[in-house]
């Protein structure tokens, strides 16, 4: 029987066990996983570079021929086909005339990390021909990453099995050396007399030349009741501190409430913005228009509204695809923000290809001038539209109406007049602006023939 006596030299019981486990984990895991994954990564990157080189050799001549023939449809087909090849995340083509093509459009879903391999080549019809463009291919490392992850998981699984066997061995040793003595101490605590420290704790274990954690635990339990009063004092201090924190709870709640209100404000702003074009949506336009309409009636200043529609937009989508149709709407929206950027001018997208512009302090003549400026600016963009019967490029039909307090009781009345003028402009041949009148819409002077404008690159 061994009781508490004079302190003996302390030798931690688990030092050898922890040392062995750490050595096994570090040596085996680091060497097996790191070395294996580094080698696989290098081999995978070499293979990916070979795929990029082969893809360039296969497509360079065809792309050069399409550029030489100015065959943009075939060029896009080749670029889309090239971007879908295994191992390719992105294709970028910069032509000699300043055009830039990027596939897949929108960035794609495949990996385009900064460490992805890239290759660049010059496109020529033959060695003596001028440079037609430069093609850059970006490799897709997602497959390589998945392969490396799979290997790492397999190695980790093997290590887990080995560690499990090691843990079983440690558990057996720990039970013999620690657990049974801890159990004996727990049973001793059941009869531990409160506020008594005179009775020593004794454990059934062989005598040792040094102390370990079990001996320290036994001494600590015997000293525990001497420390009870100090612990109660500490708990009282903690309770007082908790009371102070409770007093600060209201301040914390108010701070959190402010954060939530800011988040709600940001969400409300997003709800008022058209997700495709970035300009105001129908909801935001209706709210702003009604407020401005009431203010114009109150202060008796002019107010006009333009309703614009892209001519033959369904045919544009059918011809060039909905993706290109979205880009067309985005380009027109950018132009709207540029043309109507002064105070009191509020552009919005109110439908599929329909836009509305609120013009505060603008009478009919001023609104007509601004509408024509918009229509001509869209025409000068020269967005090719082979399916349009109005022009060989994208055009707008615009209807406008100016506030008449005797005729317009609500903003919806003013908007309805502008909308009717729009449909009459479309019925009259499109690519024109009509102003709503009290009796019948009147067409503006002969529309400007935008076909004489110099073409722009897109």
What is the SS3 assignment for 46?
A: helix
Q: What is the mean pLDDT of residues 2-10?
A: 60
Give the number of other Cβ atoms within 10 Å of residue 416's Cβ.
15
Sign of CA dihedral 167, 168, 170, 171: positive
Q: What is the mean pLDDT of residues 201-219?
A: 71
Instruction: Report helix, strand and coil shares of the chain as percent, to nearest 5.
Output: 55, 15, 30
The answer to whether residues 323 and 258 touch, using CB atoms and an 8 Å cutoff, is no
Sign of CA dihedral 240, 244, 249, 255: negative
- Distance, CA of 208 to chain centre: 64
Name the nearest CA neighbour of 100 among 133, 70, 78, 139: 133
The crossing angle, in degrees rounded to 10, of helices 15-29 and 142-174 is 160
Ramachandran assignment for 107, one of left (phi > 0), alpha (psi -120 to 50 degrees), beta (any other): left
State the pLDDT at residue 136.
Answer: 87
Q: What is the mean pLDDT of residues 85-104?
A: 85
Lowest mean pLDDT among 170-184, 232-246, 433-447: 433-447
Residue bearing the bigger pLDDT, 34 or 349 = 349
Asked whether the predicted pLDDT for residue 193 surpasses 80, the reply is no
Asked whether the predicted pLDDT for residue 18 surpasses 70, the reply is no
Sign of CA dihedral 232, 238, 240, 243: negative
The answer to whether residues 401 and 435 touch, using CB atoms and an 8 Å cutoff, is yes
Lowest mean pLDDT among 164-173, 239-248, 437-446: 437-446
Maximal CA-CA distance, the chain: 117
Name the nearest CA neighbour of 276 among 233, 333, 223, 358: 333
Name the nearest CA neighbour of 300 among 369, 367, 370, 363: 363
- pLDDT tens for 357-390 read 999 999 999 999 999 999 999 999 999 999 999 9
The crossing angle, in degrees rounded to 10, of helices 228-247 and 249-271 is 40
Asked whether the predicted pLDDT for residue 86 surpasses 50, the reply is yes
Torsion of CA 70, 72, 77, 79, to 10 degrees: 80
Interatomic CA distance for residues 362 and 304, integer angstroms: 6
Interatomic CA distance for residues 420 and 400, integer angstroms: 9
Interatomic CA distance for residues 82 and 366, integer angstroms: 51
State the pLDDT at residue 5.
Answer: 58
CA distances from 255 to 247, 250, 262, 397 (A): 14, 9, 11, 51
What is the SS3 assignment for 5?
A: coil
Name the nearest CA neighbour of 312 among 248, 242, 388: 388
Name the nearest CA neighbour of 304 among 399, 420, 443: 399
Interatomic CA distance for residues 327 and 307, integer angstroms: 20
> Position of tokens 């059941």?
190
Residue 270, C-beta contacts closer than 8 angstroms, at least 6 positions apart: none
Is the bond leading into 27 cis (omega within 30 degrees of zero)?
no
114 — pLDDT class (breaks 50, 70, 90)? low
H or E stretch at 304: strand 303-310
State the pLDDT at residue 64.
Answer: 82
Average pLDDT in the chain: 80
- For the entire predicted model, the pTM comes to 0.43
Asked whether the predicted pLDDT for residue 294 surpasses 90, the reply is yes
Which tokens is 25 given? 């984990």
Residue count (the chain): 458
Asked whether the predicted pLDDT for residue 232 surpasses 90, the reply is no
Asked whether the predicted pLDDT for residue 455 surpasses 80, the reply is no
Give the active site residues: 353
Give CATH superfamily name and number for 275-452: Reverse transcriptase/Diguanylate cyclase domain (3.30.70.270)
Sign of CA dihedral 185, 188, 194, 195: negative
- Distance, CA of 184 to chain centre: 59
Domain-wise residue ranges, the chain: 1-225, 275-452
Residue bearing the bigger pLDDT, 429 or 29 = 429
- pLDDT tens for 140-180 read 787 777 877 887 787 777 777 777 777 777 767 777 777 77
Interatomic CA distance for residues 355 and 373, integer angstroms: 15
**What burial class does residue 250 get, using C-beta atoms within 10 Å of its C-beta: 0-12 exposed, 13-18 middle, 19+ buried?**
exposed
């Amino acid at each position: 029987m061994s009781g508490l006596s004079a302190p003996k030299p302390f030798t931690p019981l688990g030092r050898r066990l922890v040392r062995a486990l750490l050595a096994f984990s570090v040596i085996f895991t680091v060497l097996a996983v790191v070395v294996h994954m580094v080698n696989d990564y290098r081999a995978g990157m070499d293979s990916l570079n070979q795929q990029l080189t082969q893809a360039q050799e296969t497509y360079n001549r065809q792309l050069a021929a399409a550029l030489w023939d100015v065959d943009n449809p075939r060029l896009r087909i080749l670029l889309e086909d090239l971007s879908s090849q295994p191992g390719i995340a992105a294709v970028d083509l910069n032509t000699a005339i300043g055009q830039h093509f990027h596939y897949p459009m929108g960035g794609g879903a495949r990996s385009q990390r900064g460490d992805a391999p890239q290759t660049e080549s010059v496109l020529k019809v033959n060695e003596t021909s001028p440079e037609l463009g430069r093609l850059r291919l970006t490799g897709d490392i997602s497959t390589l990453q998945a392969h490396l992850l799979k290997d790492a998981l397999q190695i980790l699984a093997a290590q887990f099995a080995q560690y499990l066997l090691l843990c079983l061995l440690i558990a057996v040793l720990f039970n013999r050396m620690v657990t049974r003595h801890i159990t004996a101490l727990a049973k001793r605590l059941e009869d531990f007399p409160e506020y008594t420290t005179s009775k020593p704790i004794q454990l059934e274990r062989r005598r040792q030349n040094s102390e370990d954690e079990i001996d320290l635990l036994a001494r600590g339990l015997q000293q525990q009741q001497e420390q009870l009063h100090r612990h109660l004092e500490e708990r009282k201090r903690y309770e007082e501190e908790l009371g102070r924190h409770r007093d600060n709870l209201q301040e914390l709640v108010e701070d959190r409430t402010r954060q939530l209100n800011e988040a709600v404000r940001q969400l409300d702003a997003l709800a008022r913005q058209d997700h495709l074009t970035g300009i105001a949506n129908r909801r935001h336009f209706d709210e702003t228009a009604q407020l401005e309409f009431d203010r114009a009636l109150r202060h008796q200043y002019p107010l006009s509204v333009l309703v614009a529609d892209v001519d033959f937009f369904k045919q544009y989508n059918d011809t060039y695809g909905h993706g290109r149709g979205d880009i067309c709407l985005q380009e027109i929206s950018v132009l709207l923000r540029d043309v109507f950027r002064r105070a009191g001018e509020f552009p919005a997208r109110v439908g599929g290809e329909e836009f509305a512009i609120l013009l505060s302090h603008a009478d009919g003549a001023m609104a007509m001038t601004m509408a024509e400026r918009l229509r001509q600016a869209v025409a000068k963009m020269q967005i090719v539209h082979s399916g349009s019967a109005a022009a060989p490029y994208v055009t707008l039909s615009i209807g406008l109406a100016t506030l008449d307090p005797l005729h317009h009781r609500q903003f919806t009345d003013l908007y309805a007049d502008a909308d009717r003028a729009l449909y009459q402009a479309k019925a009259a041949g499109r690519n024109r602006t009509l102003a709503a009148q009290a009796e019948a819409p009147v067409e503006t002077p002969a529309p400007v023939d935008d076909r004489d404008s110099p073409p722009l690159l897109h």
